[in-house]
Amino acid sequence: MCLWGVLIVYLPAMWATQKITHSFSGSMPVFFLWFALLLWAMAYSATARCPRCKNYFHMHGMMLLYLRKCLHCQLPINADKASR
């Protein structure tokens, strides 16, 4: 959810910055802040562990895939909600 939130914030933040500063160079600090948040969110989601197999949920080797199942044991991302 953090990753999606950071991605959705990009366009409104850049639009507001352009309206306020009226310059490309004035919006660069906002872009670099957004990019740093994006890197953090990607690292945070990439290192999430699967509760069943304890491997990384979205990573298999060096490949980062945002799928709805664990790449190792195929546990669905919403397995805790399906059992209720």
Listed in sequence order, the residues at least 6 apart from 68 whose beta carbon sits closer than 8 Å to its beta carbon are 76, 77, 78
Residue with tokens 């906002």: 30
pLDDT value at 62 more than 70: yes
List the structure tokens of 25: 């160079």
Residue with tokens 């957004």: 34
Average of pLDDT values for 27-35?
A: 93
Side chain identity, residue 2: C
pLDDT value at 84 more than 60: no
pLDDT score recorded for residue 83: 58
Task: Report the chain's mean pLDDT, rounded to a whole number.
Answer: 88
Alpha-carbon distance 8 to 77, whole Å? Answer: 21
pLDDT score recorded for residue 36: 95
